[in-house]
């Protein structure tokens, strides 16, 4: 079975598939050669169909590695490079990963770890693709229980997202999709899939640098870009000129955007498409076109064809239009479940519908309004942070009795985690911070610690994070 | 399960989905209402999941009927309205059709036949969709054996064709696809599917009228059009002005185009995309873009993503580049087989590849060159004609011993059927013509009869049509 890149290289060998920096470009033929070489270097280490983990940054080489694993047709576990050693370890063990390939800069400790340096110096072996594996990629997300779960994205999921997106925003054979979001997130990974499926170029950015991206937007170096709210805000902060007419679509994801930002975009004629999606839907699931944006302010749009959405109440019954309930999604881009976690998979679905845990409503024209992400979810600079995971770590400190974590509003990041901690015995905040630092990625670490005598709980003894959130933000939620 | 039209109407209710004539337009909401009403009127007649046949012309009502049957989710058997009563009868029986719905102008004789007039006057009943049927449409094509076979096109086949086409020619949300090809052919039917999948309008023409279409092309009434060679020739004959810039793509199918026509298109800057496809591939399977057309004159392009093509020799081995052999195709748009004909299905496939029977080669860049359609196939004005079927009818005349049918070159139609007949006893050509007329559609009837003493046969006794073809065209073939 040929990989998507291989098919694309056969169809459009001379078309540029990847740009990086001002001077570097690869045709699909070049990319296929790079990926084939890497696949042949990885092949000697492959023993079965278990996932291979990648710990990488936004480098052209990472793109080739991702395609190399598609050639071998083993699932790739995309490790978030901002996590801590403990967090990586959990994902590697939970996924039964057979190998982790890492950029030399990351000091990961794991059995069967292979640096890219070692890989490049190893032997080559003809690739024998495993034919039946339909899982393309795995990305861990945490849930309300605090245990990260490996979301399985099949080839069909990615294909369905790519097609739905094309039907929605249109597809121009000369499009260039700017990727400044991480490749280990679904937002970045899905751009690579669209590139080979559509036959268009990706312009890859190592990091999000608003001045560099702004310069590229005004000089016409890209036609589509995926951003999260923080990035958009930073772009607006430096905007001093109109974008080039080649630029036609800015897909805004990763949490609700404040109205004033959306309005400024309309005012400045930035073609912003608000969207709603998640790792479980292989990137955006609904999109609001600029045409509808002015009359549907605050909406996240309608599902990409042929996805479906419904809103249900606590008993699972359908909500009428304009009535808030839980958002359920269904369609070919929706995950088939969580890796090695049948229980979580079973709990996540109801009669074929994925229960997102997010809250919202459909208006009487069918536009989705996301009232709130899962009530406990903190979105910080586009990263999802699940309080239960942080609480679990803090509570693990011998001097801590219990902890509650909520999002504190932040001008730069949207939200940052804040912790309320009940102590068993007196300790310094610095001790706690050191303890957490060893166990959690930087963006997940509380920026504020409040020591308190008790946490607000309801009659059933369940933590009421809403009250903590009110307290920390000095306003009603 | 919602039909594609229903989903599309929910996503883009106010978007125009269908134009007909200068004054008539329907939004997707309107179309959905029309189709729902028809589905409810058809519902009382539905007993099981057997196909429902449609005998219609290119009318807006036909579009609504097609979508109505998708709502009920029974397969539709699209009857070619140019066939004879006997030919229709064969298809209805072979497919076990449970019902035939026909425009009142067609005097079809069949059990369970229902005119649209009767249907419109009947009762309505809530639609209960059959959920599991994945066959969307059935179209009969004849083969070398002379027995027409019902090609099953699944929903997935249509979806795959629609997506592959969009990735190939691009997709603009404001596209309007001009449909002057018959809805009962895959070329027309597939346009309706793309319309609801993409969310774009179809401009439907009852008949191909080159002057009317030319006027619409210069005034910008459409952006994409599907044509066969005969139509293109007729368009060129009346062309006296440049087409509107909104018009961006002319998909040319239905048999090889003479070079002089393609060259004239390039000269006149008509964006012609040569393609190769068949009923079994749910419309075009390869497409040659104008960008490649000048350096790949005569090619049919490369497969639509993610389809694959290979060329094999008589022993089924892969041919090298530039070596002629049989064309095999594989991919999600390829039929799963022939209705109620496991034997034909089995014979048509080799390890998942469909054997097209057509002959051609891939050049060293992977471009397909169709050397010839199945050696015996006659393509007349875009319609496929299989000699064996006509020979079988002629041989059925009591005074005929045997017959051989081949294509005679024709300026207007490309080819027309010509018959070589060996008689048992003397009869008038007129008698034979009358006999054939009762049994075959007009376009299939031989335009010329040659009475001869014997037919050329090879050592195995097999008819050598090539020799008849040389004789009739007075040139080597």
Spell out which residues of chain A touch residue B163, defining contact as CB-CB under 8 Å. 163, 166
**Closest in B170, B199, B308 to A172, CB measured:** B170
Beta partners for residue B224, in sequence order: B177, B249
- Residue A476 has a pLDDT of 39
- 3-state SS assignment for residue B234: helix
d(C-alpha A374, C-alpha A356), whole Å? 8
When pLDDT is cut at 50, 70 and 90, the band that residue A477 belongs to is very low
Residue A409 falls inside a structural domain: yes
Domain end point (choices A299, A331, A359): A299
- 3-state SS assignment for residue A238: helix
Spell out which residues of chain B touch residue A351, defining contact as CB-CB under 8 Å. none
Contact A199 B302 (CB under 8 A): no
When pLDDT is cut at 50, 70 and 90, the band that residue A460 belongs to is low
- CA distance to partner chain A, nearest, from residue B156 (Å): 12
Q: What is the pLDDT of residues B212-263, one digit of tens each?
A: 999 999 999 999 999 998 899 999 999 999 999 999 999 998 766 777 888 8
A169 and A70 within one domain:
yes
d(C-alpha B4, C-alpha A204), whole Å? 35
d(C-alpha A427, C-alpha B108), whole Å? 91
Spell out which residues of chain B touch residue A4, defining contact as CB-CB under 8 Å. 306
The stretch B395-416 carries a mean pLDDT of 90
Contact B10 A302 (CB under 8 A): yes
ipTM above 0.85, yes or no: no
- Residue A131 has a pLDDT of 66
Residue A415 falls inside a structural domain: yes
Q: What is the CATH number of the domain that holds A285?
A: 3.40.50.12780
- CA distance to partner chain B, nearest, from residue A451 (Å): 50
> Per CB distance under 8 Å, which residues of B are interface residues toward A?
2, 4, 7-8, 10-11, 13, 163, 166-167, 169-173, 197-199, 302-303, 305-306, 308, 365-366
Does residue A468 register a pLDDT over 60? yes
Is B362:B329 a contact under the CB 8 Å cutoff? no
Number of independent structural domains in chain A = 2
- 3-state SS assignment for residue A325: strand
Is B270:B217 a contact under the CB 8 Å cutoff? no
Number of CB atoms found within 10 A of residue B245's CB:
8
CA distances from A201 to A15, A17, A19, A176 (A): 8, 4, 7, 5
Closest to A392 measured CA to CA, from A149, A150, A147:
A147
- Residue B131 has a pLDDT of 67
Residue B41 falls inside a structural domain: yes
Max Cα–Cα distance, chain B, nearest Å: 67
Q: What is the pLDDT of residues B113-136, one digit of tens each?
A: 999 999 999 999 999 776 667 999
Which of A2, A6, A11 should one mutate to test binding to chain B, selecting the residue with the greatest count of B CBs within 10 A? A11
Spell out which residues of chain B touch residue A302, defining contact as CB-CB under 8 Å. 10-11
Strands B272-278 and B302-303: what pairing?
unpaired
- CA distance to partner chain B, nearest, from residue A10 (Å): 7
Is A179:A188 a contact under the CB 8 Å cutoff? yes
**Closest in B7, B305, B366 to A305, CB measured:** B7
Domain end point (choices B133, B168, B186): B133
Number of CB atoms found within 10 A of residue B259's CB:
10
- CA distance to partner chain A, nearest, from residue B147 (Å): 34
- 3-state SS assignment for residue B89: helix
d(C-alpha B427, C-alpha B109), whole Å? 30
**Which H or E run includes B447?**
none
- Residue B258 has a pLDDT of 75
Q: Examine residue A451 and say whether the peptide bond preceding it is cis (omega within 30 degrees of 0).
A: no
- CA distance to partner chain B, nearest, from residue A8 (Å): 8
The stretch B178-191 carries a mean pLDDT of 96
d(C-alpha B246, C-alpha A52), whole Å? 48
**Closest in A170, A303, A366 to B172, CB measured:** A170
**Which H or E run includes A466?**
helix A465-473
Domain end point (choices B133, B166, B189): B133
When pLDDT is cut at 50, 70 and 90, the band that residue A256 belongs to is low
**Closest in A170, A199, A302 to B173, CB measured:** A170
The stretch B295-317 carries a mean pLDDT of 91
- Residue A75 has a pLDDT of 96
Q: What is the pLDDT of residues B276-297, one digit of tens each?
A: 999 999 999 999 987 787 788 8
Backbone φ, ψ for residue A91 (5° rounding): -65, -40
Residue B409 falls inside a structural domain: yes
d(C-alpha A37, C-alpha A154), whole Å? 24
Does residue A462 register a pLDDT over 80? no
Give the pair of three-digit tokens for residue A230.
Answer: 């923080």
Residue B425 falls inside a structural domain: yes
Number of CB atoms found within 10 A of residue A269's CB:
10
Residue B386 falls inside a structural domain: yes
A233 and A139 within one domain:
yes
Q: What is the pLDDT of residues A273-299, one digit of tens each?
A: 999 999 999 999 999 987 787 788 889
Greatest mean pLDDT among A194-203, A251-260, B103-112: A194-203
Q: Examine residue A306 and say whether the peptide bond preceding it is cis (omega within 30 degrees of 0).
A: yes
Q: How many CB pairs (< 8 A) connect A and B?
A: 59
Residues above pLDDT 70, as percent of chain B: 95
> Per CB distance under 8 Å, which residues of A are interface residues toward B?
2, 4, 7-8, 10-11, 13, 163, 166-167, 169-173, 197-199, 302-303, 305-306, 308, 365-366
Is A91:A148 a contact under the CB 8 Å cutoff? yes
Contact B305 A199 (CB under 8 A): yes
Residue A162 falls inside a structural domain: yes
CA distances from A112 to A61, A73, A93, A102, A109 (A): 20, 19, 12, 11, 9
When pLDDT is cut at 50, 70 and 90, the band that residue B460 belongs to is low
Contact B302 A4 (CB under 8 A): no
Q: What is the CATH number of the domain that holds B411?
A: 3.30.300.30
- 3-state SS assignment for residue A291: helix
Does residue B474 register a pLDDT over 90? no
Q: What is the CATH number of the domain that holds B64?
A: 3.40.50.980
The stretch B37-66 carries a mean pLDDT of 96
d(C-alpha B234, C-alpha A457), whole Å? 79
Spell out which residues of chain B touch residue A193, defining contact as CB-CB under 8 Å. none
A400 and A264 within one domain:
no
Please, what sign has the CA dihedral across residues B166, B167, B170, B174? positive
Number of CB atoms found within 10 A of residue B351's CB:
7
Beta partners for residue A421, in sequence order: A403, A451
Which of B15, B195, B305 should one mutate to test binding to chain A, selecting the residue with the greatest count of A CBs within 10 A? B305
Does residue A130 register a pLDDT over 70? no
- pTM here is 0.85
A419 and A283 within one domain:
no
Strands B272-278 and B249-253: what pairing?
parallel
Residue B96 falls inside a structural domain: yes
**Closest in A4, A10, A306 to B7, CB measured:** A306
Spell out which residues of chain B touch residue A2, defining contact as CB-CB under 8 Å. 308
DSSP state of B429: H
**Closest in B4, B303, B365 to A306, CB measured:** B4
A173 and A289 within one domain:
yes
Is B65:B114 a contact under the CB 8 Å cutoff? no
- CA distance to partner chain B, nearest, from residue A213 (Å): 26
Q: What is the pLDDT of residues A140-169, one digit of tens each?
A: 987 655 578 999 999 999 999 999 999 999
When pLDDT is cut at 50, 70 and 90, the band that residue B476 belongs to is very low
- Residue B289 has a pLDDT of 80
Spell out which residues of chain A touch residue B308, defining contact as CB-CB under 8 Å. 2, 7
When pLDDT is cut at 50, 70 and 90, the band that residue A234 belongs to is very high
Contact B11 A163 (CB under 8 A): no
Give the residue numbers spanning the domain of A186.
Answer: 4-299
DSSP sequence for A86-134: HHHHHHHHHHT-SEEEE-TT-----TTEEEHHHHHHS--------SS--
Is B393:B439 a contact under the CB 8 Å cutoff? yes
Q: What is the pLDDT of residues A351-401, one digit of tens each?
A: 999 999 888 999 999 999 987 666 678 888 888 888 878 888 898 899 998
When pLDDT is cut at 50, 70 and 90, the band that residue A314 belongs to is confident
d(C-alpha B189, C-alpha B191), whole Å? 5
Does residue B448 register a pLDDT over 50? yes
Q: Residue B23 burial by CB count (10 A; 0-12/13-18/19+): exposed, middle or buried?
A: exposed
Contact A305 B166 (CB under 8 A): no
């Amino acid at each position: 079975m040929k990989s998507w890149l291989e098919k694309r290289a056969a169809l459009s060998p001379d078309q540029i598939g990847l740009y990086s920096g001002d001077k570097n470009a690869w045709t699909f033929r070049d990319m296929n050669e790079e990926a084939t070489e890497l696949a042949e270097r990885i092949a000697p280490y492959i023993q079965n169909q278990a996932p291979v983990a990648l710990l990488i940054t936004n480098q052209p080489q990472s793109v080739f590695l991702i395609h190399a694993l598609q050639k071998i047709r083993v699932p790739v576990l995309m490790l978030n490079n901002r996590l801590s050693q403990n967090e990586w370890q959990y994902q590697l063990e939970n996924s039964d990963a057979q190998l982790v390939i890492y950029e030399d800069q990351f000091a990961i400790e794991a059995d069967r770890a292979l640096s890219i340096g070692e890989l490049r110096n190893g032997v080559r072996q003809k690739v024998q693709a495993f034919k039946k594996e339909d899982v393309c990629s795995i990305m861990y997300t945490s849930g309300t229980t605090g245990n990260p779960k490996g979301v399985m994205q099949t080839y069909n999921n990615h294909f369905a997202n790519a097609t739905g997106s094309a039907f929605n925003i249109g597809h121009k054979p000369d499009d260039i999709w700017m990727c400044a979001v991480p490749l280990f997130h679904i937002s970045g990974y899905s751009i690579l899939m669209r590139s080979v499926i559509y036959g268009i170029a990706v312009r890859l950015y190592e990091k999000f640098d608003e001045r560099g991206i702004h310069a590229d937007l005004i000089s016409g170096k890209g036609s589509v870009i995926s951003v999260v709210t923080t990035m958009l805000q930073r772009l607006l902060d430096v905007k001093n000129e109109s974008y080039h007419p080649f630029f036609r679509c800015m897909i805004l994801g990763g949490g609700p955007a404040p109205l004033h930002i959306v309005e400024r975009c309309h005012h400045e004629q930035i073609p912003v498409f608000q969207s709603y999606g998640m790792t479980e839907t292989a990137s955006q699931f609904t999109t609001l076109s600029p045409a509808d944006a002015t009359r549907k302010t605050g909406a996240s749009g309608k599902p990409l064809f042929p996805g479906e959405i419904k809103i249900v109440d606590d008993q699972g019954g359908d909500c009428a239009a304009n009535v808030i309930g839980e958002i359920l999604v269904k369609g070919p881009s929706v995950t088939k479940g969580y890796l090695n976690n049948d229980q979580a998979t079973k709990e996540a679905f109801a009669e074929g519908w994925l229960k997102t845990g997010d809250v919202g409503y459909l208006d009487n024209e069918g536009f989705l309004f996301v009232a709130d992400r899962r009530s406990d979810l903190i979105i910080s600079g586009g990263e999802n942070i699940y309080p239960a995971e942080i609480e679990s770590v803090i509570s693990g400190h011998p001097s801590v009795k219990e902890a509650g974590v909520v999002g504190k509003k932040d001008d730069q990041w949207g939200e940052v985690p804040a912790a309320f901690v009940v102590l068993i015995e007196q300790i310094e905040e610095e001790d706690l911070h050191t303890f957490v630092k060893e166990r959690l990625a930087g963006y997940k670490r509380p920026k504020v610690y409040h020591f308190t005598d008790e946490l607000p709980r309801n009659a059933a003894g369940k933590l009421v994070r809403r009250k903590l959130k009110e307290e920390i933000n000095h306003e009603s939620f």
